[in-house]
A and B are shown apart, each in its own frame.
Chain A
C-alpha cells in the first residue's frame, strides 16, 4: 500500500508559439492575443506526471500558478485533467523574475505545510516556453532546502523516495531521491491527456485558492525584448517533382555527404 502523496505542480500561462511572434508595445512580453495562451509542453507533462503520482495512492495533485486573472484558465485546464486543487498567486507575471517566482512558490509550499497539506513533491517545467530561464525549479529547491532533479521526463513515487529518469549526455540517467523533493520535467516521458467533458465540468466546481505575493518582485533584469530581423530567403529551387532528383544528388555530391567509400563495388 503506497501512502498518499501530495504533489504540487507549477505551471505558467504563456503565449502559444506561432510562426510570427508579436511583441507587446513596451517590449516586455509576447503578445499572445492572436495566438492564444497555453502552458509549456514541459509543464503539460509535469501535470500529467503529478496526476499519475498522486493518483496511484489516492493523493493530491495541486496546481499552482503565478499570474493575472487570465491565468486561471491554465489552472482550470490542469484541474480538468485530474489535478485536485489549485492555488493562484495573483500578480503581473512579467514583473516576476525567476528568483521572485521561486520565492513565491516556496512561500506557498511552506504555507500549505503549515496548513497541514505539505507537498511531498514539487514538479515544474524544465524551462518556460516564453522566458526560457532554466532556473526556477533549482532556485526553489534552494529556497526550500530540498534536493532537486533537473530535466527528468519520468517520475515515480517509490515509498518515501521519488525515482526520476531523464536523458543525460551519456544516456538515460536515473535518480533516486528522498522526499520531499523538487523535480523539473522535460517533455517526452508521458503523453499529456486532453480534458474529458466530465473532467472539465468538475474543474469548474473546484474552488481556487487565491494568494497574494509575499514579496515585492525584483524582476529578472529584463530591459526589453526584440525580434530577430527576418532573414531574406536565398533558397535555390532545384526543381519540381521527381524530375529534380538528379539535381538533388548533384548537391549531395557537392556537399560530400555521399562519400565515395559508400560507392558500389
Chain B
C-alpha cells in the first residue's frame, strides 16, 4: 500500500464513483501528481457507491441531469460495464399516466428513445408482473444496469497506469488548512499533504470535510430503503445479473430490479430518514458498511405490500426469502441538484451529492471545469456557488429534503413551490403585500408576490383577454390575475417589488478594469449610464446576463437576478482587478419597479426631479428625491414599458411603495407580481432569461443578442465570441405562437415549458449541435392574445411563418414562428418605452 505523500498538485478525497471518475478524467486531461484518499479499503470503501442499486433510467425533466446521465452511460458502455435491460415506469392512476406523457415529452426533447405502452406490453416483457394493477407504462429500452464498483476500479487503474495518480486507502482526513483564502494542505491521520487543489468527493461525508475548511456543502445523508428477495425460481432460470426490464412503480415510489436470482425492491415512499454526517458510524462500528444501516422494517410495511401486489408470484415464490435489507444512505440537497465546483476557498473544489447515473459525467465535467474553466455540459444548476446564506444552514437542507424526499418519484409541477423553511427573506413591503393578498413564490429565499388577489376584480373587466386555463394542471400554481395585472400595467402602470435582486458594488482603482474584463458590453461609459450585458465564460457560453450602472469613475453597481446572484457575485469577485473591492448591497437596498404609460406621471407627482424623456433618458440613472427619500432611479425596463427601477434603502422602501401605490391609484395603477415581470411582460418583448434561454451551451449569436461592434477591451470569452461571430449559427432562438390550443378532448391546453417542438406531422427536428428543439419558456402574451413559446430551432426552420407543432402531453398543437431574432412580437419598435 502506498504511503501518504508529502505533497500533491491535487488531492481527491473519496474513492467512490465520483472520486474515481474524477481522477481518471484529470489524468486524461494531463494532470499529474494526483493523490486520491479514502478512509475505507478498496475497491469498496463503504460509501454509497458500494450499495447502490446501479440501474440507470435516462429521462429526467432537467436537461442538465439528463445530459450528465447520457454522458455517464456512454462512459460506462465504453468501459464494458453497462448492461442494457430496458425499463418501465408504470402508472397505476390516470394522474400518473399524464405525468408519464410529460416524461415521454421530456424524452423526446432530450432525444431519448421511448414510448408509452399498454399493460399487456409490460407483462410480455415482465411476465411476473400483475398487469391488472397498472393502466399503462413509459418504456425506455435504453435503461440499463452498471457495475459501478468495477467502473470505479477501471477508471482508477487508468489513472494509476498513466503514472498520474497515487491512491491511498484506509487514511482518514482530519483537517484542511486554508491560508489567505487558498487551500494549502490536507491533514490526515497518516501525515499531511501540501496541495494546490483539493476536491471533496466523499459523498455523505462531504459536509464534515467541507466544515474543516469553513465551506458549507449543504447535503444531508438520507436513508433509502432496499430489500433483496430470492432466490426466485422465475429469475434463477436465467443466467446473468439481469434479464428482465427494471420496473419503477411510480405511484408507490418503489422500484423492482432483478439482480441474478434475487429481486431488489427499493423505496422512496417511506418517511424521510435523515442523518447528520457526524453520526454516520465508522467502518468498525458498522455491521455491513457505514452507509448500509440497520433496516427499519416499520418504514417499509406499505411498500412491501404494494410490491407483493404488483409481483405476487415472484415475491411469494417458494424459497424466496428477504435475504438482504438495508437502510442505505445517499446524499440529498435542498434543490435536488449535485454540489459541484470551486468553493469560496480557492483551489478547494467539491463534487458531491451525485448519483451513480451521473457519476462519470460529473467526473468529466468537473475535471474539464478545473482544467479549462468551463465544461462541455453546462452544470450551472449544480454550482456550489449557487447557495444563498440561508441555504447553507443544515436546518434548511434538513427541512427541504424532508419535504422533497417523498417526491423522488413524485409528480412535480414545474412551478411547484416548497412549503418548508419559507419566510427566510422578507422585503420591506411584505406586510403590505400580505394585506393585498399576495400569492408568494420563493426566489433565493425571498418571498415574492407572484400575483395579488386584490387584483381579482380586474378579471371581470378584462374577460376572456386574461386567457383563462381550463385544465387543472395548466392552471396549477397560476392565476388569470397575472394576465389581468399585465393588461392593467400596459394600460396604466404597475408597481413591482424587485427586492430579490442581487446587488453588489465594485469600487476602487481597478473597478472599471474589473467590469470591463467580466462584461461583454462596453462599460467605459459616462457616469450615470446603465449597461445591459451578457457575461461569458472562456468558451464563449453564457455565465449570466445582467445590468451594470456606472455610479462614479471608480464605482459600478451590478444588478442581477436573485436566483443566480451568488454565482454572479462569486464570478465578479474571482475576476477583480487591482485594488477593486466588491461589496454586496442586497440586504440594504430594495428595488421597486414602476412601469406603464402612466409611470412618468406617477413618478413626477412624487418628485421634483426632471423625469421627462429628455431630462431622464433611457439607460441612464441618477439619484433623485422621491417621497422625501433618496432614490437611485434607473430608466430601464424588462417588461417593455416606460418606467424606472427605483433603488431605495430598506428603511425607506415601504413608505415609497405605499406612496407609489397611493399616487398610482389615481392613474389606475395596481401592484403587479412576478408572474408579469418574469414571464408575460418579458416574452411579449422577446427578452431572454438566464437559466431558460441562456446558458453556457448557448452563444450570443444563437440567442440573437449580438451587437454590431465588439468592444476593443479584452473580456472573458472574447476570443471565442469573435470566432462565433464569423460562424453561421447552428441553432437560432425563435419566438413561436400557438395557433390552436384545442386538445382531442376539446379542452384547451396551455404549455408550461420543456415541451418538444416537432414538425406539423410530429417529425423530429435536429439543430446543428445535434439537439432537438424544446420550449425554453412558455407563457401568456395577453396583449397579443396569444400563448407564446421560446425555443431554439434549427436555422432552416428559423424563418418567420414556419409552421411547426408543439407536443404537449403527447398531443400535437400547431405553432408558427413569429420572430427569429430579438425583435419583440409586441411593440417591435419599442415606442412604448419612450
Contacts and interface: CB of A to CB of B under 8 A. Distances in A.
Interface string B249-286: 00000000000000000000000000000010111111
Given A34-B281, A37-B294, A201-B305, A196 B286 contact: no
Interface residues of A, number: 20
Contact of B284 (A18, A73, A193, A198): A18
Contacts of A36: 287, 293-295
Contacts, number: 61
Interface majority SS (helix, strand, loop, mixed), chain B: mixed
A4 interface: no
B229 A197 contact: yes
A34 B280 CA distance: 8
Contact of A197 (B282, B283, B284, B316): B316
Contacts of B229: 196-197
Interface string B40-75: 000000000000000000000000000000000000
Interface in A165-194: 193-194
B285 A34 contact: yes
A20 interface: yes
Contacts of B236: none
Contact of B308 (A16, A20, A195, A198): A198
Interface string A13-34: 0001011101000000000001
Interface in A189-215: 193-198, 200-201, 204
B322 A20 contact: no
Interface in A13-68: 16, 18-20, 22, 34-37
Contacts of A34: 279, 281, 285-286, 293
Interface string B317-328: 000111100000
A76 interface: yes
Given A198-B316, A201-B304, A193 B285 contact: no
B285 A35 contact: yes
B294 A35 contact: yes
A19 B293 CA distance: 15
A204 B299 CA distance: 12
B321 A20 contact: no
Interface string B693-705: 0000000000000
Contact of A200 (B281, B286, B293, B322): B322
Interface majority SS (helix, strand, loop, mixed), chain A: loop
A97 B350 CA distance: 52
A197 B308 contact: yes
B301 interface: yes
Contact of A195 (B294, B305, B316, B321): B321
A75 to B, nearest CB: 11
Contacts of A35: 281, 285-287, 294
A193 B323 CA distance: 9
29 contacts: A16-B287, A16-B294, A18-B281, A19-B283, A19-B284, A20-B282, A22-B285, A34-B285, A34-B293, A35-B285, A35-B294, A36-B287, A36-B293, A36-B295, A37-B294, A73-B297, A76-B297, A196-B229, A196-B320, A196-B322, A197-B308, A197-B320, A198-B308, A198-B315, A200-B297, A200-B322, A201-B305, A201-B308, A204-B301
Closest 7 CB pairs of A and B: A36-B294, A20-B284, A194-B321, A34-B281, A19-B284, A197-B315, A16-B287
Contacts of B284: 18-20
Contact of A20 (B285, B301, B305, B316): B285
A197 B281 contact: no
A148 to B, nearest CB: 32
Contacts of B295: 36
Given A36-B294, A73-B297, A197 B287 contact: no
Given A20-B284, A34-B279, A35-B286, 20 more contacts: A16-B287, A18-B281, A18-B286, A19-B284, A22-B285, A35-B281, A35-B294, A36-B287, A194-B321, A196-B316, A196-B320, A196-B321, A197-B304, A197-B308, A197-B316, A197-B320, A197-B322, A198-B315, A200-B297, A201-B308
